[in-house]
Structure 1
Amino acid sequence: MTALPVVGGVMLRSRWTPGSAAGATGSALVSVTDFRISRLRDLPGVYRAGLTLGRAWPDLPGAVGMWLWTEPLRGRCGSVSIWQDEQALREFVAWPDHVAIVRRYRGRGRLRSTTWTTTQPDPDVWAQARSYLSGADTQAS
């Protein structure tokens, strides 16, 4: 985990994890999720669930790469993922392991997310995602 300073605490970010489509060229879809926990005691479970999904990341069809992140003192966590296309993201969202986690934690916080297309599917996407997570970028899907 890399510690990144934020107002009111610290953001921890995992290493870049390449996916099965890591060498893809051309446009890609970026997805950013921001889950704000209602009770801090739920944060460790939510984050562990994300880590579990992350272990499967290298084998997910259409996955270019991703980071997991958390602001533990603010009860926030999420992901920044890059996909070959919208269909690959939809397949992940419908993946039974992902659906089970969403159902387990539904109602325990508030989810905010956005997507955008990029022609630069590489780790430089983090700066744009960070802008969204800080509230400086109001583009939302």
Structure 2
Amino acid sequence: MPSGIWKTSWKNGPAAHTTGPGSRVVVSITEFSTHRPWGTPAVAVEGMRLRRGWPRTPGAVAVRLWMEPGPRMNRSGSVTVWADEASLTRFVARPEHMRIVRAFRGRGVMRSVLRDTTLGAPADGLPPAVGVGLAPLWADAERILAGVDPWS
């Protein structure tokens, strides 16, 4: 992925404290490419609003938002980790999420992929709640976003 990507730190959800190494999780990787470059900051701001409520989102393990500004086309999205697919489905159906989807419909192209995976061991030097094996999940997401691995 180009070095111009901006990303937030991982933010834990309530399920981060009940998952650990060896836990099965669902990872959702999303990308929204705007038709016009000036649309990306608005999408990123809406993502940050949703992120504020993350600690109260049932089934949420962790979230990282990202944005890649470019000269002609901008991309932004998220990498979210869920305790199960049902938790993700409940989040997608929430009114505040649906409002954002409707607001940006027709202003760009959305792609997403789900991956079932197992969390690895905590990263050295990180507190257990933050370092529950999220680094490999981000590395996988980067390969998909860079076009190295397929979206399917």
Shift of 1:139: 4.1
Gaps of 5+ in 2: 120-131
Amino acid at match of 1:17: K
Match of 2:150 in 1: 138
Task: Name which of structure 1's ranges 94-103 and 18-27 shifts more when overlaid on structure 2.
Answer: 18-27
Identity %: 40
Partner of 1:109: 108
3-state SS of paired residue (1:10): coil
CA RMSD of superposed structures (Å)? 1.3
User: What is the CA-CA distance between 1:42 and the residue it aligns to?
Assistant: 1.1
For the Cα contact (< 8 Å) 2:112–2:151, is it kept in 1? no
In the alignment, what sits opposite 2:48? Answer: 51
SS at structure 2 position matched to 1:116: strand
Partner residue, 1:67: 64
- Give 2:124's aligned residue: none
CA displacement at 1:40 relative to structure 2: 1.1
Partner SS, residue 53 of structure 2:
helix
Instruction: Name stretches of at least 5 consecutive residues in structure 1 with no aligned partner.
Output: none
Whether 1:19 and 2:13 are equivalent positions in the alignment is yes
**Alpha-carbon distance in structure 1 between the residues aligned to 2:53 and 2:133:** 20
Output aligned runs, 1:94-105, within 5 Å: 94-105=93-104
> Offset at 1:44?
1.2
Can you list the C-alpha shifts for 1:88-133, whole angstroms capped at 9, x where unaligned?
0000100100000000001100011101011116322100010110
Higher alpha-carbon Rg: 2
Q: Specify the alignment match of 2:134 in structure 1.
A: 123
The residue type equivalent to 1:56 in the other structure is G
For 1:138 and 1:51, how far apart are their aligned partners in 2?
27
CA distance in 2, matches of 1:44, 1:27: 33
Spell out structure 1 runs of 4+ moving beyond 3 A: none
TM-score, normalized by length of structure 2?
0.84
CA distance in 1, matches of 2:91, 2:149: 25
Query: Normalising to structure 1: TM-score of the pair?
Result: 0.91
Paired residue total: 134
CA distance in 1, matches of 2:147, 2:110: 14
